[in-house]
Structure 1
Amino acid sequence: MDNNNIANIFIKPDLGTLQHVVLVILGTVFVIQAMQKLFPWIADYLHGASRLFILAMIPLLRLILILAAFILIVPRIIEPSMQNMLALLGSIGIVLGFALKDYASGLIAGIVAVGERPYRNGDWIEINGIYGEVKHIGMRAVQIVTPDDTAAYIPHTKIWNEPILNANNGTPALQCVANFYLHPDHDASRVKQLLHDVALTSPYLNFDEPIAVVVQDQPWGTHYRIRAYPIEPYQQFRFVSDLTIRAKAGLTNLGIIFALVPAFPKNKEIH
């Protein structure tokens, strides 16, 4: 399509049209900004599934608002015919394909992420070794905050070729694991019962989810894992710390010996 044909697609602008377009853009930006502040504020007063539902609605509503603004603006600047729309979208697609290929891929991946929801606001995910809570799902990237309070911005294009590990997947149920490594000479039944009782008496325990104590023999000793769920996903680190501290105290009182692996300097040969 030549430049003259493209120019014929557009309606000659007037002051009213410009005012309408500007008002729609400003109104959309204002509503999106207000929503992105209001919804997290509301979510802070909620718990469990209600909190995660409110947070997960943000990117979906933002996409709906952007599409609505596009639908309101386009008929004001383009003659509303199927031929004109196809011609314009085809031209834009060619430009994006050559000039903004990576950015366009990120935008498409962002739309796919909103639709398929491999992660939502409030989910705890791991992508390419980075673990944290999803705080914001933008059009091009997802923002997660790690346990060390570091913000990481990961492009949505990672969903094309990277595994997405989602610890709670839109629910309040996030399994935590506390590990213990013991000398093999001990009463395994007694230790297992102690670890179960430790989990059962934690102030962070979600009683609606199961507790499991997994026992596995290793060449160096016995590996115990407490698998349980905190009340809220953000309590996972306090929960594991509570389990670890109280379980170690209980095991010490029973006279249990912990397994030790000697540490060798990196430059020292082991014979």
Structure 2
Amino acid sequence: MGDFGIKDALSSITSQALLEALAVIIAASLVILLVQKLLPVLAAKLSGKPRLYLLASVPLVRLLVIVLTIIVVIPILVEPSFENMVAVFGALALALGFAFKDYANSLIAGIVTLYEMPYRPGDWIEVNGRYGEVRAIGTRAAEIVTLDDTVIVIPHSLLWNTLLANGNDGTDNLMCVAEVFLEPNHNVDRMLGLFRDAVFTCPLTKTYQPVVVTVSALEAGMRYRLKAYPLAPREQSRFISELTASASEICGEEGVRMVSNPYLGA
């Protein structure tokens, strides 16, 4: 078919067809803009899984609108015969394959992301040592906001060869760990009980979720790990700080010295 097939397919394009296609594209853009603005506002009024699922629907709805727009626009511009469709889509695929190889890779990975949902808006993930909350998921990349309020753009293509850790995986349950290092000579059972009580009495603790306090012996001392769930994942920094402060206060009251060096030969 070659170039003649493409020329024949494009020969039916008229000024009226271009205006109709432009109107459809503008309408689709407005719908996408409305979805991106309205759904996060509605999600902010919810909590738990309904909030996360509503945020996760934003990129999916956007992708559906884009696909539907392409399906509607092409028949407007090109006479919808089998030969014309083969010529147009074949040329389009060939051009995109060469010119936007990396972008297409990320785009395909984005479609896989929308299907498998390894992360969603509201999830706390770590990729290549970068940790933060997923703020938005686009067709090519995701945006995360770190605990220091830094926005990081992560291309979806990293999914192919990078380990990804998801702290809450679509829920509002995010386990946090506060570590305390103490000198070796003390009553371990008593400290375990006091630390456990401190976690339960913290106002930010989700007490109906498991609370675990563990201890391990290292070369230079004892490492206690206070593991629990905050009321909201976004409270994790404040939650860990309060647990650490409570543990420090307990150590002062019990006369147990904290070890300042966190690297105890582990």
Please state which band the TM-score falls in when normalised by the shorter chain: over 0.9
Please give the secondary structure, in 1, of the residue aligned with 2:110: helix
1:53 corresponds in structure 2 to: 53
Tell me by how many angstroms 1:18 deviates. 2.4
Partner of 2:64: 64
Match of 2:121 in 1: 121
**TM-score, scaled relative to structure 2:** 0.94
| Ranges in structure 2 where 5+ consecutive residues have no aligned partner | none
- Structure 1: 5+ residue stretches without partners: 264-271
Instruction: Note if contact 1:55-1:121 (Cα within 8 Å) is conserved in structure 2.
Output: yes
Equivalent pairs: percent with the same residue? 42
What is residue 30 of structure 2 aligned with on the other side? 30
Range that drifts further, 99-108 or 182-191: 99-108
CA distance in 2, matches of 1:100, 1:42: 35
Pairing 1:119-268 to 2, within 5 Å after superposition = 119-261=119-261
Instruction: State the AA in 2 paired with 1:105.
Output: N
Q: Structure 1's 262 and 38: CA in aligned 2 closer, same or farther, altered over 3 A?
A: closer
- How much does 1:12 deviate? 1.8
Could you tell me which amino acid in structure 1 is paired with residue 132 of structure 2? G
Change beyond 3 A, Cα 1:82–1:12? closer
Q: CA deviation at 1:118?
A: 1.1
Cα 1:233/1:262, change in 2 over 3 Å: closer
- Aligned amino acid, residue 102 of structure 1: D
Match of 1:12 in 2: 12
TM-score (norm 1): 0.92
8 Å contact kept, 1:143–1:152:
yes
Query: Post-superposition shift, 1:82?
Result: 3.5
Inter-partner Cα distance in structure 1 for 2:203 and 2:11: 66
What secondary structure is seen at the aligned counterpart in 1 of 2:203?
coil
1:221 alignment partner AA? G
Structure 1 pair 13/92, CA: closer, same or farther in 2 (3 Å)? closer
**Structure 1 pair 17/193, CA: closer, same or farther in 2 (3 Å)?**
same
Tell me if structure 2 keeps the 8 A contact 1:175–1:227: yes
